[in-house]
Structure 1
Amino acid sequence: MSNPLLNIPLLPPFTQLQPEQVEPAIAKLIGDCQGQLQRGLENPGWESTLQSLEQVQDQLNRAFSPISHLNSVLSGEWRAPYEAALAQVTAYWTEQGQNRELYEVYQQLAASPEFVSWPQPQKKSVELGLRDFELSGVGLEGEARERFAANSKRLAELSSQFANNVLDATNAWTWHTEDKADLTGLPETAIAAAKSAANTKGKNGWLITLEGPSYLAVMTHAENRELRRLVHTAFVSRASEVGPNAGEFDNSGVMESILALRAEQAQLLGMANYAELSLASKMAPDCEGVLEFLNDLAKRAKPAAEREMAELRLFASEEYKLEELQPWDIAWVAEKLKQQRYAISQEELRPYFPYAKVLEGLFAVVEKLFGVAVQEDTTVETWHKDVQFFWLYRNGERIAGFYLDAFAREKKRGGAWMDTVATRRQGEEGLQLPIAYLVCNFSPAVGDMPSLLTHYEVTTLFHEFGHGLHHMLTQIAIAAVSGINGVAWDAVEMPSQFLENWCWQPEAIAMISSHYQTGEPLPAELLEKMLAAKNFQSAMFTVRQLEFAIFDFRLHASEEVMETQKIQQLMSEVRTEVAVVPVAKENRFQHGFSHIFAGGYAAGYYSYKWAEVLSADAFSLFEEKGIFDSATGESFLHSILEQGGSRDALDLFVEFRGRKPDVDALLRHSGIEQLELNISPA
């Protein structure tokens, strides 16, 4: 029986993929890449070396993509083969990153007289390649070279282990009751989901889990304060040495090892710390500039956050006789205050945002902005019955496609993300279309009740689709700078945050909302309340994001050995400086901080705020011209989305906006216009 991973088509045949196919396929494909590299080095040149290598490496990438993806969305039997394949792939890329003969080909191409007249994407791919060789230790000798390679392999293993521990800890804890009164206050959608979760486990009654929809419903709505305490404690102590599953999935040692290895990688490359290494491929100029940006924003946002927290405490005392707010009270009291002040809640809005309508409206918004039509294709194989597949068309021509896995389920990694199936590139068989995965964790339909989204979940869907558009609408056909490839990490969040803005525009809201039973539009009164409440506790949200960003950056800028106790100490120090909400003694946020320990955001979590400056300022042009102004939409498409990583992010922004970024739009959108920041991504 042939192995489908050896000749993976544009759309993976998910129903044919089996875990036992992984290791032999990846070994064979890596062998093909190594053989092609040797042939390419015998006859060095752009086409004979770089393009021919891109062709075989694309086969490897497109085989590894569904393996990695299935590990994230199904876990279980895919975990071991994924980890084995990850080790093989990491070793291959590390070896190539240190291949001096290939490095010399890049150098020769960059130094050739014809290089200056090359197309920009081609030149940029060589320039980025040279940078990446240097950051991969191509200049290292002997033991240092071997050590760098061994560290790279071990870091990949540890990142996977960190993510596994978080997922296992999330799945390990549940709370069961057969008394519905325990769930007083929870919305009917959440109660139905808890009933379904219990049934799935063969139990009567209701089951609360730590999956996002269940956790948030309890923390925001449960009148049962003890239940809120139990769920909060279990959630914030996941994968740590404390809490209900203390030590069982503990990430303490994993974090220590990751930080030590990252620090050593930076030192081997002659850098002071890992933060410096991280910034070598980002927009931000240096460590001082990042910390100045974050600290200045924190210093100016914290007074507003303290006022918001004081209001919350006063309200809790006067209305609920809660003289001391505990961490598990914050979201619940905030929801009560929001309802009193604006007479609105996410649950009141939910019936007006049925998933199908939101999706239809999202596609309509994108079509008006960028001239792109989206059509579902129900014939495409997927990995789960709830997964959908869509094609994108422009002027009647198929240009891209994406899978959408929208709903939470057991063994699926939490959160939301976009990942690549295939990259747009010019290959031997012609132009390869870009294909994406879009993954969310919304509450699924239960019985006759369709999936109904909170407005927060609506913005999450728009956010991830913004990432998807960046990948799918590219016009670049060289893999290294196509789509999100080659884009500075602190600019990569710009298109995703940018698209979120339409979730707050009345004209767009009319396109994405209607009552799931009656089809009636969102009433004007509710819309006005929703918009009025947009910036409710926005300063508290801002300082929370800054708390994570400052912690991450200082953690990776430290030249100390960061043991678990010191990591916790740093977290506490940053909270003292920035945070305004109380923290449970069991809180081990860092043990579940997958963005920096299992994702690409190490010394880069600041990117969310950095890119928010760009996205808010970009959207301000639509505010001036009209939110569906076709010329402005075309300009954003051509200057940002189509260009991928072929040009520097700042240059592309200036081309679109006509000037460097200005922070004013971000502050205005956040409702904290009075702040005056002296720093910008420029």
Structure 2
Amino acid sequence: MSNPLLNIPLLPPFDQLQPHQVEPAISELITNCQEQLQQGLENPGWENTLVPLEQAQDQLNRAFSPVSHLNSVLSGEWRAPYEAALAQVTAYWTELGQNRELYEVYQELTANPAFNHWPQPRRKSVELGLRDFELSGVGLSGEAREQFAANSRRLAELSSQFANNVLDATNAWTWHTEDESELAGLPQTAMAAARSAAQGKDLDGWLITLEGPSYLGIMTHSENRELRRQVHLAFVSRASEVGPNAGEYDNSEVMESILALRAEQASLLGMASYAELSLASKMAPNTERVLEFLNDLAIRAKAAAEVEMTELRDFASKEYGLEDLQPWDIAWAAEKLKQQRYAISQEELRPYFPYSKVVDGLFAVVEQLFKITVEEDTSVTTWHDDVQFFWLLRDGKRIAGFYLDAFAREKKRGGAWMDTVATRRQTERGVQLPIAYLVCNFSPAAGNMPSLLTHYEVTTLFHEFGHGLHHMLTQIDVAAVSGINGVAWDAVEMPSQFLENWCWQPEAIAMISAHFETDEPLPQELLDKMLAAKNFQSAMFTVRQLEFALFDFRIHSTEEPMTAVKIQQLLDEVRSEVTVVPVAEENRFQHGFSHIFAGGYAAGYYSYKWAEVLSADAFSLFEEEGIFNPTTGERFLHSILEQGGSRDALDLFIEFRGREPKIDALLRHSGIEQQELNISPA
């Protein structure tokens, strides 16, 4: 039987893919890329070298994509073939990035006077290509060149190992009971999910896990303080040297090695730190500017966060006799205070946000904003029965597609993300349509209860769909700058955070909500309470994000070798400066910080706040002109979503907004007083 990965169609045939197919297919496709490159270098130029190389690399990317994806959503038997393929692919891209002949082709293209008259996307792809060559060590020679390549391969291995340890540590811990009284306070949805989890293990009673919905249900609602303590400590100590699985999946040495290798890569390129290397492909001009941005925002937010924390302590003491508020009490007490102050909870809202209604409403929102329609295609094969596939259409014509894998399950990586199946690009047969994966980890249907989302989960879905729109609505046909490709990393979160705003607009809420039993709309009283509570403890949330961002940036800025002990010390220092909530002694947050150790956010976690300035300011124009104003929606579509990485993010923002970004809207949306702030992302 032929190997389906060797000639992967636009939509991968998931029902035909097998782990044993991976290694031979990836090897052959890499060989094809290498042979194509050699042919292209014989008569160098855009048409002879770069166009056919893009075609060969697209085949490789589209074969590796489902392999990587299946490792994330199924793990198990896909882990070993994925890791073997990752090593091959990393070696290929590292070698390509150091190919001086290809580098010289790029240089010669820019030196030709005709280059200035090329289409903008093509010019930008060459300019970014030159930058990436330099960041890949093309200028290195001898031992330094070999060391850079070896480090790149090892870093890919370590990132995968970090993610595996977090997943395995998450799956390793459970808590089982047959005594319903021990779960007092848990809402019906959480109880149903816990019973379903137990049944999945052939157990009676209820099973609590460290998967997101289960963990958050306990921390927010359980009246059993000892259970909250156990679950919290198991969660915050995952993949570390402490906790219930101490040392079993320990990421300590993995972190040390990753940081050491990143620092060495920066040094080999003549840079002072990995943070400096990271910023070479971002909007932020230098490390000082990032730290100024984060520290200025932290000063303002911490003052407000301290007020919020004092209120929470006073409330817990007065109402519940909790004189010593512990880390496992914070979410629980906050939920109690929120209910007292606003008479509303996420659980009260859940019945009005059934998953199917939210999805339909989300599609209705983007249809109104960007004049597209979304249509499910049940004939497309997927990797799990829960997964759906949809086409995006404009004027009845398919322009993109996406898979939606919404629910948590065992062996599926936690969190939420968008990833690429296929990138829009010009081919000999016409334009290749962009296809995306959209992945979340919501509570699935249990028993007779459909999947009901918290409003927080609703915003998560909108966030990931915003990423998806950035990928799918692009009109750029050069792969290197199509969709999110080529977009500065500290601007890539802008469309996702931007779309979240509609989750708070009454006109949009009416489209995404209806009671799952009666189909009645969200009552005005509940809507008013929800909107009133929008900024509840928003400053505490902001300083938490700043804690992560400052830790990430400072740990990648230091010249000192970082041991696990020193990593903890630096995190403790950051916490002493910005944190207002108590932290458990066993807290090893860094051991599970996959964003920076297993994802693309190393020295870039600040991007969430940086991009939030852009997204809030962009949305403020809709606030001025109408949240469904067709002209404003079309302007955002043309200036931001369709342009991909073909132009600088700041230029695109200015084209849309008519000026450089301001922080005013972010502060207003967050409920934090502006006063005098020296913060601007530009």
Asked if TM exceeds 0.5, the reply is yes
Shift of 1:676: 3.1
Q: 1: distance between equivalents of 2:331 and 2:372?
A: 39
In 2, are the aligned partners of 1:483 and 1:645 still within 8 Å (CA)?
yes
Q: Write out per-residue CA displacement over residues 282-340 of structure 1, whole angstroms, 9 at most, x where no aligned residue.
A: 00000000000000000111011000000000000000000000000000000000000
In 2, are the aligned partners of 1:389 and 1:402 still within 8 Å (CA)?
yes
1:333 counterpart residue number: 333
1:51 counterpart residue number: 51
1:517 counterpart residue number: 517
Tell me the secondary structure at the aligned position of residue 344 of structure 1. Answer: coil
Q: Does 1:150 align with 2:150?
A: yes
Shift of 1:14: 0.2
Q: 2: distance between equivalents of 1:203 and 1:472?
A: 43
In 2, are the aligned partners of 1:664 and 1:673 still within 8 Å (CA)?
no
Q: Does 1:355 align with 2:351?
A: no
CA RMSD of aligned residues (A): 0.4
1:576 counterpart residue number: 576
Q: Which one-letter code corresponds to 1:57 in the other structure? A: Q
1:439 counterpart residue number: 439
Tell me the secondary structure at the aligned position of residue 176 of structure 1. Answer: strand
Q: Which one-letter code corresponds to 1:537 in the other structure? A: Q
Q: Which one-letter code corresponds to 2:680 in the other structure? A: S
Q: 2: distance between equivalents of 1:572 and 1:159?
A: 24
Tell me the secondary structure at the aligned position of residue 419 of structure 2. Answer: strand
In 2, are the aligned partners of 1:313 and 1:325 still within 8 Å (CA)?
yes
Q: 2: distance between equivalents of 1:429 and 1:677?
A: 53
Shift of 1:429: 2.2
Q: Which runs of 5+ in 1 are unaligned?
A: none
1:231 counterpart residue number: 231
Q: 1: distance between equivalents of 2:677 and 2:469?
A: 31
Judged with a 3 Å threshold, the aligned counterparts in structure 2 of structure 1 residues 180 and 675 are, in CA distance, closer, same or farther, namely farther
2:167 counterpart residue number: 167
Q: 2: distance between equivalents of 1:95 and 1:658?
A: 42
1:428 counterpart residue number: 428
Q: 1: distance between equivalents of 2:25 and 2:428?
A: 21
Q: 2: distance between equivalents of 1:189 and 1:624?
A: 39
1:508 counterpart residue number: 508
In 2, are the aligned partners of 1:55 and 1:428 still within 8 Å (CA)?
no
In 1, are the aligned partners of 2:253 and 2:564 still within 8 Å (CA)?
yes
Q: Which one-letter code corresponds to 2:672 in the other structure? A: I
1:588 counterpart residue number: 588
Q: 2: distance between equivalents of 1:76 and 1:614?
A: 40
1:272 counterpart residue number: 272
1:677 counterpart residue number: 677
Shift of 1:674: 3.2
Q: Which one-letter code corresponds to 2:592 in the other structure? A: G
Shift of 1:428: 2.1
In 2, are the aligned partners of 1:170 and 1:238 still within 8 Å (CA)?
yes
Q: TM-score, normalised by structure 2?
A: 1.00
Q: Which one-letter code corresponds to 2:317 in the other structure? A: S
Residues 95-494 of structure 1: pairs in structure 2 closer than 5 A: 95-494=95-494
Tell me the secondary structure at the aligned position of residue 16 of structure 1. Answer: coil
Shift of 1:559: 0.5
Shift of 1:675: 4.1
In 1, are the aligned partners of 2:664 and 2:674 still within 8 Å (CA)?
no
1:35 counterpart residue number: 35
Tell me the secondary structure at the aligned position of residue 584 of structure 1. Answer: coil
Q: Which one-letter code corresponds to 1:581 in the other structure? A: V
Shift of 1:448: 1.4
Q: 1: distance between equivalents of 2:299 and 2:517?
A: 47
Q: 2: distance between equivalents of 1:301 and 1:392?
A: 40
Q: 2: distance between equivalents of 1:549 and 1:180?
A: 40
Q: Write out per-residue CA displacement over residues 109-140 of structure 1, whole angstroms, 9 at most, x where no aligned residue.
A: 01101000000000000000000000000000
Tell me the secondary structure at the aligned position of residue 15 of structure 1. Answer: coil
Tell me the secondary structure at the aligned position of residue 14 of structure 1. Answer: coil
Q: Which one-letter code corresponds to 1:233 in the other structure? A: L
Q: Which one-letter code corresponds to 1:346 in the other structure? A: Q
Bigger mean CA deviation after superposition, 422-431 or 220-229:
422-431
Q: 1: distance between equivalents of 2:360 and 2:184?
A: 34
Shift of 1:681: 1.2
Q: 2: distance between equivalents of 1:365 and 1:518?
A: 22
Tell me the secondary structure at the aligned position of residue 17 of structure 1. Answer: coil
In 1, are the aligned partners of 2:374 and 2:393 still within 8 Å (CA)?
yes
Judged with a 3 Å threshold, the aligned counterparts in structure 2 of structure 1 residues 406 and 675 are, in CA distance, closer, same or farther, namely farther
In 1, are the aligned partners of 2:3 and 2:25 still within 8 Å (CA)?
yes
Q: 2: distance between equivalents of 1:647 and 1:527?
A: 40
1:598 counterpart residue number: 598
Q: Percent identity among equivalent residues?
A: 84
Tell me the secondary structure at the aligned position of residue 15 of structure 2. Answer: helix
Shift of 1:673: 2.9
Q: 1: distance between equivalents of 2:459 and 2:190?
A: 20
Q: 2: distance between equivalents of 1:213 and 1:527?
A: 24
In 2, are the aligned partners of 1:301 and 1:675 still within 8 Å (CA)?
no
Q: 2: distance between equivalents of 1:66 and 1:229?
A: 39
Q: Which one-letter code corresponds to 2:102 in the other structure? A: L
In 2, are the aligned partners of 1:424 and 1:434 still within 8 Å (CA)?
yes
1:631 counterpart residue number: 631
Q: Which one-letter code corresponds to 1:577 in the other structure? A: E
Q: Write out per-residue CA displacement over residues 654-681 of structure 1, whole angstroms, 9 at most, x where no aligned residue.
A: 0000000000000000001334321211
Q: Which runs of 5+ in 2 are unaligned?
A: none
Q: Write out per-residue CA displacement over residues 457-514 of structure 1, whole angstroms, 9 at most, x where no aligned residue.
A: 0000000000000000000000000000000000000000000000000000000000
Q: Which one-letter code corresponds to 1:595 in the other structure? A: H
Q: Which one-letter code corresponds to 1:640 in the other structure? A: I
Q: Which one-letter code corresponds to 2:154 in the other structure? A: R
Q: Write out per-residue CA displacement over residues 388-444 of structure 1, whole angstroms, 9 at most, x where no aligned residue.
A: 000000111110000000000000000000000000000122210000000000000
Q: 2: distance between equivalents of 1:130 and 1:427?
A: 23
Tell me the secondary structure at the aligned position of residue 556 of structure 2. Answer: helix
Q: Which one-letter code corresponds to 1:475 in the other structure? A: Q
Shift of 1:195: 0.4
Shift of 1:57: 0.3
Q: 1: distance between equivalents of 2:58 and 2:560?
A: 40
Q: 2: distance between equivalents of 1:158 and 1:542?
A: 30
Q: Does 1:497 align with 2:490?
A: no
Q: 2: distance between equivalents of 1:439 and 1:446?
A: 20
In 1, are the aligned partners of 2:297 and 2:679 still within 8 Å (CA)?
no
Q: Write out per-residue CA displacement over residues 603-662 of structure 1, whole angstroms, 9 at most, x where no aligned residue.
A: 000000000000000000000000000000000000000000000000000000000000
Shift of 1:371: 0.3
Q: Which one-letter code corresponds to 1:254 in the other structure? A: V
Q: 1: distance between equivalents of 2:452 and 2:116?
A: 54
Q: 2: distance between equivalents of 1:304 and 1:13?
A: 52
2:77 counterpart residue number: 77
Shift of 1:202: 0.7
Q: 1: distance between equivalents of 2:430 and 2:168?
A: 43
Bigger mean CA deviation after superposition, 255-264 or 669-678:
669-678
Q: 2: distance between equivalents of 1:445 and 1:676?
A: 48
2:659 counterpart residue number: 659
Q: TM-score, normalised by structure 1?
A: 1.00
In 1, are the aligned partners of 2:258 and 2:597 still within 8 Å (CA)?
yes
Q: Which one-letter code corresponds to 1:441 in the other structure? A: N
Q: Which one-letter code corresponds to 1:325 in the other structure? A: L
Judged with a 3 Å threshold, the aligned counterparts in structure 2 of structure 1 residues 195 and 675 are, in CA distance, closer, same or farther, namely farther
Q: 1: distance between equivalents of 2:395 and 2:633?
A: 16
Tell me the secondary structure at the aligned position of residue 521 of structure 1. Answer: coil
Q: Which one-letter code corresponds to 1:270 in the other structure? A: G
In 1, are the aligned partners of 2:613 and 2:661 still within 8 Å (CA)?
yes
Q: 2: distance between equivalents of 1:461 and 1:472?
A: 16
Residues 614-653 of structure 1: pairs in structure 2 closer than 5 A: 614-653=614-653
Q: 1: distance between equivalents of 2:529 and 2:340?
A: 11
Q: 2: distance between equivalents of 1:541 and 1:53?
A: 45
